[in-house]
Structure 1
Amino acid sequence: MTTEEDKLMAKRGKRYEEISQKVDKTKIYTPEEALEVVFDTKSAKFVETVELAVKLGVDPRHADQQVRGTVILPHGTGKNVRVLAITSGENIQKALDAGADYAGDDEYIAKIGQGWFEFDIVIATPDMMPKLGRLGRVLGTKGLMPNPKSGTVTTDIAKTVEEFKKGKVAFKVDKLGSIHLPLGKVNFTKEAIEENFKTALKQIINLKPAAAKGQYLRTVAISLTMGPGIKIDPLLAGTFVTK
């Protein structure tokens, strides 16, 4: 289903051009400057997401240069994440009590096989992975297949559900060596976005593969859903997160 956000993204036009003038495309901003400017690029009629984009000095074609993990944003993402827990027995009620929107076993596996996707993330217990494996092609193409490296395969279903509902985000480097993460909503305070930014980028830095050579953070930028990218000096960004 096309969302209001999707429709607006297709109609950038004049408003986008006006907002773009507030960002100097020839300038590489300090993290502090970028976190100030991003709030001046509000343009949409909905509450936009502040997004982080990082280009890494890795070759994702090699298994030893994959960057994949999770991060718990201190202030969450501002989005109501719909969690589906695939589990069995008493874990079903534990997942629901922890905040899962849906929890069950064969019933939900069958629904997914029939084209049901009214959820944003799937969390599974190890005993259910053989059954979910049959849906690997369906869930994998949408980036929804549970995986231990993304923290979505767990023996502690209640804790994991609670973490993702509160703002835990899974990420993975794409084929171009980039990672994209939400940092919250534009109606967050600047302090909250800054703290989320530091936490997310620090985790990405901590996951630097030993096989990665040269400069790890190649480019760093933040933007709003409908706004232009604001380039940040990657070297300054690296030191900023340790302050």
Structure 2
Amino acid sequence: MAHMGKRYEEAVKSVDRDRLYDPEEALALVKQLAKAKFDETVEVAVRLGVDPKKADQQVRGAVVLPHGTGKTVRVLVFAKGEKAKEAEAAGADIVGDDELIARIQQGWLDFDVAVATPDMMGAVGRLGRILGPKGMMPNPKTGTVTFDVERAVQEIKAGKIEYRVDKAGNIHAPIGKVSFETAHLVENFHALMDALQKAKPAAAKGQYIRSVAVSSTMGPGVRVNPTKAVAVVS
């Protein structure tokens, strides 16, 4: 087992491992315990009551966080003609078609999120083996395959994040930076939890939100009361 640093060990002592915190209290504690010399990312880990092996229990989607992620996102758009111009006007960092696909096939990956118009997906599909494992492949379920490229680019720039259940039934997602006000982290947290609740598969049985924890990049996890985590969800 890797040795934990003194800062981490001291931070762990401040967390009651047997307690389920309210979201606001948990996030305030995460901010308090973040001692790194950089602006750490605040992350949420949710264990869902689903069986990811079953196609009808997949949980995947996207949500625009009301206060963004605190990260500058480089957006690439696969588009041609007027849609390419629309993407550029909306603030896309890189726009192109076939020549862009060729660059990526050669190993270039200097972007964070990819968007594609539906008519480009026949060609973009060749990048599945490259972009798929990195979670960067355009997908209609997350709103990144669309003719409304202006909206897609603007939402991503405003703080849109994607979430996807892993093989163990967990969701991991960023909701901001420790420099954010606690109230803003709480609002981002509830926006994510709202989206997860609405994405609940009809086939999922029993308790859906099994456990929730929040943490900073270098800090310990703080467990959140699942009931309080979804209390404001309509």
What's the TM-score, normalizing by structure 1? 0.92
Can you list the C-alpha shifts for 1:8-55, whole angstroms capped at 9, x where unaligned? Answer: xx9951221122221122222122321221111111110011111100
Q: Which of 3, 27, 32 is residue 35 of structure 1 equivalent to?
A: 27
Q: Is 1:120 paired with 2:92? A: no
1:32 and 1:164 map into 2 onto residues whose CA distance is 26
SS of equivalent residue, structure 2 residue 173: strand
Partner residue in 2 for 1:21: 13
Which amino acid counterpart does residue 214 of structure 1 have in structure 2? Answer: G
Q: Which of 161, 164, 169 is residue 161 of structure 2 equivalent to?
A: 169
Q: Which of 38, 41, 51 is residue 46 of structure 1 equivalent to?
A: 38
8 Å CA contact retained: 2:46, 2:213: yes
1:58 and 1:210 map into 2 onto residues whose CA distance is 10
2:37 and 2:131 map into 1 onto residues whose CA distance is 32
**1:86-125 map, 5 Å:** 86-125=78-117
SS of equivalent residue, structure 1 residue 122: strand
Q: Which of 145, 148, 165 is residue 156 of structure 1 equivalent to?
A: 148
Which amino acid counterpart does residue 155 of structure 1 have in structure 2? Answer: F
1:143 and 1:50 map into 2 onto residues whose CA distance is 20
Which amino acid counterpart does residue 153 of structure 1 have in structure 2? Answer: V
Which amino acid counterpart does residue 190 of structure 1 have in structure 2? Answer: T
SS of equivalent residue, structure 1 residue 23: coil
8 Å CA contact retained: 2:65, 2:159: yes
SS of equivalent residue, structure 2 residue 63: strand
Q: Is 1:69 paired with 2:69? A: no
8 Å CA contact retained: 1:31, 1:233: yes
Q: Is 1:129 paired with 2:121? A: yes
SS of equivalent residue, structure 2 residue 24: helix
8 Å CA contact retained: 2:197, 2:233: no
Which amino acid counterpart does residue 217 of structure 2 have in structure 1? Answer: T
Which stretch shifts more, 77-86 or 10-19?
10-19
Partner residue in 2 for 1:3: none
Which amino acid counterpart does residue 120 of structure 1 have in structure 2? Answer: D
1:122 and 1:108 map into 2 onto residues whose CA distance is 11
Can you list the C-alpha shifts for 1:176-206, whole angstroms capped at 9, x where unaligned? Answer: 1111111111111111111111111011011
8 Å CA contact retained: 1:31, 1:240: no
8 Å CA contact retained: 1:12, 1:226: no
2:182 and 2:24 map into 1 onto residues whose CA distance is 10
Partner residue in 2 for 1:222: 214
Gaps spanning 5+ residues in structure 1: where?
Answer: 1-9
1:132 and 1:32 map into 2 onto residues whose CA distance is 42
What's the TM-score, normalizing by structure 2? 0.96
Gaps spanning 5+ residues in structure 2: where?
Answer: none
Partner residue in 1 for 2:227: 235
Among the aligned pairs, what percent are the same residue? 57
SS of equivalent residue, structure 2 residue 88: helix
Q: Which of 175, 185, 192 is residue 193 of structure 1 equivalent to?
A: 185
Which stretch shifts more, 64-73 or 91-100?
91-100
8 Å CA contact retained: 1:60, 1:174: yes
SS of equivalent residue, structure 2 residue 207: coil
RMSD (CA atoms): 1.4
SS of equivalent residue, structure 1 residue 170: strand
